[in-house]
Amino acid sequence: MLYLPKSFRGLGESIAGYLRDSQISPDRVTIVSTSTIFGIAFTLASYIASRLRRGRRVLIVADEVKADSPEHLSNFRQWLESFANDIAEYNSIYSEKGGSIAIIALTSDALIKELRDVVDGKVKWALMWNLPRNAFEDLISQIGSHHRVAREFGISSEEAKEILWKLAGGNPRALGLIWEKGVMKWLEDEVLRNLSDLVEELRKPFGEKLWEELERASNSIDDADIDLKKAMLRKNIIIYIAGADKISEIPREHWIGREYAYQIPAYQYALRATAKKGWDISPEEIIKEAKG
């Protein structure tokens, strides 16, 4: 509060009051309700529109918006609909002072898939994809992760760059974890563990058909069973790429379909290895699939 400009101190007090009235998780310093983040943005927008005298271009970014239960998803839907209408009204008021207010909410594609049919045209949907290959290779060179991979597998630096692209598909977070852990440990900790959780979740509902469905998903994610795709969306194994404006380049690769894509191609290679051998696969078998 001490470092805020005087014109924003009342805003800081309003947000502090809003947070005081929110439910805080006892085991983490986080706010439980998914609607709360929009409550804060609502407070920001209304304050700016009504209290600031000088027109400014204001951009509010809400990061990591999530809904981890049906109740939170329902709250999120209701807030998003009313919030879109309110922001349009506040922006209209503030534009008379020569200013503008815009909101960007960064969220998962799994959440968007649940919301888009309900909210649809009231908000603008945009898809941010991973880095394109050239930019990804530039990042690899800056970090130097290809040297570590080259040493790990006894291959050239250029071959290491190819392996990194085939496993991470332009995902900077995956590249950072590979740099930190090494390829094999990353595949074991991140890819295989996440797929193992998926298999455990789906064993009962799918029964004996599970392996058949996983094999189908490994060949074409668009053709996979819809319930399997929903589960994979929730676990961030795949992403939904249809029905949104693309604001970054999407490469033409076999792990990217018309409507869905694997978050990282390592998941597709892991499923292909699983389809051939059963669930008990190793990181080495994923690498073998990636190398072709």
Concatenated DSSP letters of 162-177: HHHHHHHTT-HHHHHH
Please give the model's pTM, rounded to 2 decimal places: 0.75
- Is 30 a residue whose pLDDT tops 50? no
Alpha carbons 166 and 170: distance in angstroms, whole number? 9
pLDDT digits (tens, 9 = 90+) for 247-260: 788 888 999 999 99
| Residue for token pair 């929730």 | 234
Alpha carbons 166 and 175: distance in angstroms, whole number? 11
DSSP 241: -
Amino acid making up residue 199: V
- Calculate the average pLDDT of the chain: 81
- Is 84 a residue whose pLDDT tops 60? yes
pLDDT digits (tens, 9 = 90+) for 99-157: 888 878 777 666 666 676 667 667 777 888 889 999 999 999 998 888 888 888 888 98
Write out 37-55 in H/E/C secondary structure: HHHHHHHHHHHHHHHCCCC
Contact between residue 104 and residue 61 where contact means Cβ atoms under 8 Å apart? yes
Burial of residue 135, with CB atoms counted within 10 A of its CB: 0-12 exposed, 13-18 middle, 19 or more buried = middle
Burial of residue 68, with CB atoms counted within 10 A of its CB: 0-12 exposed, 13-18 middle, 19 or more buried = exposed
% of the chain surpassing 70 pLDDT? 82
Pick the residue with more confidence: 266 or 277? Answer: 266
62-71, 75-84, 161-170, range with greatest mean pLDDT: 161-170
Amino acid making up residue 259: E
Contact between residue 263 and residue 237 where contact means Cβ atoms under 8 Å apart? yes
Helix (H, G, I), strand (E, B) or coil at 61: strand
Q: Where are the alpha helices (DSSP H) in the chain?
A: 6-20, 36-51, 70-95, 109-119, 133-143, 145-153, 157-168, 172-181, 183-186, 193-206, 209-219, 226-234, 265-277, 283-291
Alpha carbons 227 and 76: distance in angstroms, whole number? 22
Pick the residue with more confidence: 239 or 50? Answer: 239
Alpha carbons 216 and 52: distance in angstroms, whole number? 56
| Residue for token pair 């969220």 | 107
Residue 63 tokens, joined: 């990061």
- Is 29 a residue whose pLDDT tops 50? no
Backbone CA torsion sign across 29, 126, 171, 214: positive
Residues with Cβ within 8 Å of residue 161, at least 6 apart in sequence: 137, 140, 146
Q: Which CA distances in Å does 2 have to 5, 9, 12, 157?
A: 8, 8, 10, 51
